[in-house]
Amino acid sequence: MTTLLSSWLSSPAALGSILAEPTETVPYRAEVRAARRGDQSAFEALVRSVQRPVYGLCLRLLRTEAEAAEVAQETFLRAYQHLGRYDDSKPFDLWVLAIARNLCLDLLRRRSRVHTQDVDDMHESLPSGEKSQEEGVIAAEEYRSLEVALSTLGPDDREVLALYYVQKRTTKEIAQVMGVAPGTIMARLFRAREKLRKQMKTEDAQ
Amino acid sequence: MNACPDLETLLVAAAEHDADALAHLRNCADCAFLAEEHRQLEKDLTRLVDPLPPPDFVHAVMARVALEPAPVRVELRTAVSILAVTLMGATLAFVATHGSLGLLGTHAASAIVAWRNLFFGASEALAAIWSTAALPVVVAMVGVVVMSTLGVRRLGAHRVVEAQVRP
């Protein structure tokens, strides 16, 4: 038991490590300024830099590739249209993620029901190269069951887990994206993780 | 052994190296097991990765962006509108004073005198209402103040949320 406890405390993902926030920097400032002046290649560079987390968040929230791609495109279009309102003292990627989140939640609210094939759609969209990398560490079946369990959670839980564990965002950054107090993120993370743990237990039992 | 604390509280306290929480985890097999499951889950979650967007994603975005005016032009349009309204106001002031802007001060003083008379008239009217129906007036005024405050607070909260999540 002592070994388990010490390994938990020394784990890089342990709760203690998330209390330490890294130093804030504001990347992409030059590109944003150039894009504001109408330099589309600068905006293209911005899109290339943040497309993956934006699309990733959209896919985790919406669970269908087509919708995720459409909403992610719309996100960047809105970002371009409203670059004048962006406060460049804050990270650009967080601003764009907040737009993406807002658009996804709008779409989720409009949805009347959840399609059952969505979970499979999302699994197929996982990058195969990285999937094989993962296979060296986690067994493919475990990886799949984690994705399945994750996809059964509500959007709020999926969002906070994806931002924290998949995108490695700090609690402060997540709070900025979600528009909530930073102090609430730890509790949200715990609750989402606890739901996921219970869900995985249920799946294991079946 | 003490009764098990709430798991969330226990794990957060243990992560902060709280002595009681750590002692509890050392002595309670059930809580230690749950803590280990959370640790393992965190480990697995950190190995997940964001999927790649479709290969033509950037091209699709840029094709839509190409149809939009440059952001700086939108800002310029707003600035020109503000400038135009300001100039129009100045021109009207110039015409109203028959080309002599120095008369603006005289006009302003006349307006203040007129407003003063209006103010005294309104005060007398209010005094008359107060002397005849003080209670309904107080109730109505309190109602107006409360409703306005609630409205402003709601508007303020809405704007904060908008600023955080909307471009």
- What are the chain B neighbours of A19 within 8 Å (beta carbons)? 15-16
Same domain, A37 and A108: yes
Distance CA A98, CA A105 (A): 11
Number of domains making up chain A: 2
List pLDDT tens digits, range B22-52: 999 999 999 999 999 999 999 999 988 899 9
Which of A22, A177, A37, A201 shows the shortest CA–CA distance to A96?
A: A177
Taking alpha carbons only, the member of B35, B44, B40 closest to residue B14 is: B35
DSSP annotation of A139 reads -
Same domain? For A99 and A132 the reply is no
Using an 8 Å CB-CB cutoff, list chain B residues near A123.
none
Specify the pLDDT at position A161: 95
Question: Of A118, A143, A161, which marks where a domain is finished?
Answer: A118
* Of A2, A12, A57, A48, nearest in space to A177 by CA: A57
Lowest mean per-residue pLDDT among A10-14, B61-65, B127-131, B156-160 = A10-14
**B58 to chain A: which residues are within 8 Å by CB?**
44, 47-48, 51
**CB pair distance less than 8 Å for A166 and B66:** no
Low-confidence winner among A41-45, B77-81, B130-134, B154-158 (lowest mean pLDDT)? B154-158
Q: Which residue, of A63, A91, A118, is where some domain finishes?
A: A118
Same domain, A166 and A136: yes
Tell me the one-letter amino acid at B33.
F
Which phi and psi (to 5°) does residue A57 adopt? Answer: -65, -45
Task: Extract the residue ranges of chain A whose pLDDT is less than 50.
Answer: 4, 10-24, 114-120, 127-129, 131, 134
In CATH, what number is assigned to the domain containing residue A195?
1.10.10.10
| Cα B87 versus chain centre, distance | 31
Q: Are residues A59 and A132 in the same domain?
A: no
Q: Pick the last residue of a domain from A84, A118, A152.
A: A118
- Same domain for A43 and A87, yes or no, is yes
Comparing C-alpha atoms, which of B162, B48, B59 is closest to residue A69? B59
For residue A92, is it within any domain?
Answer: yes
Residues A48 and A103 in one domain: yes
- Do A112 and A47 lie in one domain? The reply is yes
Are residues A137 and A199 both part of a single domain? yes
Q: What would the mean pLDDT of B112-124 be, rounded to a whole number?
A: 88
Residue A162 lies in a domain: yes
Encoded tokens for A171: 């609690």
The pLDDT score that the predictor gives to residue A30 is 86
Residue B52 C-alpha, separation from nearest chain A C-alpha, in angstroms: 6
Q: Find chain A residues with C-beta within 8 A of B48's C-beta.
A: 146-147, 150, 162, 165-166
A138 and A179: one domain? yes
Q: What is the pLDDT of residue A25?
A: 58
Establish how many alpha carbons lie within 13 A of residue B118's alpha carbon, considering only the half-sphere containing its beta carbon. 6
Domain annotation covers residue A49: yes
Interface test with A, best of B43, B56, B64, B159 (most A CBs within 10 A): B43
ipTM of the complex: 0.73
Q: What is the CATH number of the domain that holds A81?
A: 1.10.1740.10
Residue with tokens 């508007």: B155
In a domain, A29, yes or no: yes
pLDDT for position B71: 77
CB < 8 Å to B47, chain A: 134, 137-138, 143
A58 domain-assigned: yes
CB contact under 8 A, B48 and A101: no
The minimum CA-CA distance between A67 and chain B, rounded to whole Å, is: 12
What is the share, in percent, of chain B residues with pLDDT greater than 90?
31
Q: Which domain holds residue A110?
A: 25-118
CA A169, CA A21: separation in Å to the nearest integer?
A: 9
Average pLDDT of the segment spanning B153-165: 56
Q: B86 vs chain A: nearest CA distance in angstroms?
A: 22
Q: Where are the alpha helices (DSSP H) in B46-133?
A: 57-65, 71-96, 103-132
| Rounded alpha-carbon distances, angstroms, from residue B7 to A89, A110, A156, B3, B44 | 38, 36, 21, 12, 20
In this structure, is residue A51 part of a structural domain? yes
pTM for this entry: 0.65
- Does residue A20 lie in a domain region? no
Assess whether A131 and A206 both reside in one domain: yes
Residue A162: the pLDDT is: 94
8 A C-beta contact, residue A108 and residue A61: yes
Query: Which among B17, B62, B165 has CB closest to A98?
Result: B165
A4-35: pLDDT as tens digits: 455 555 444 444 444 444 444 567 888 888 88
Q: Closest-CA residue in chain A for B39? A: A8
Same domain, A87 and A42: yes
User: For residue A14, is it within any domain?
Assistant: no
Whether A72 and A111 map to the same domain: the answer is yes
Q: A6 vs A2, A147, B15, B32, CA distance in Å?
A: 6, 28, 11, 11
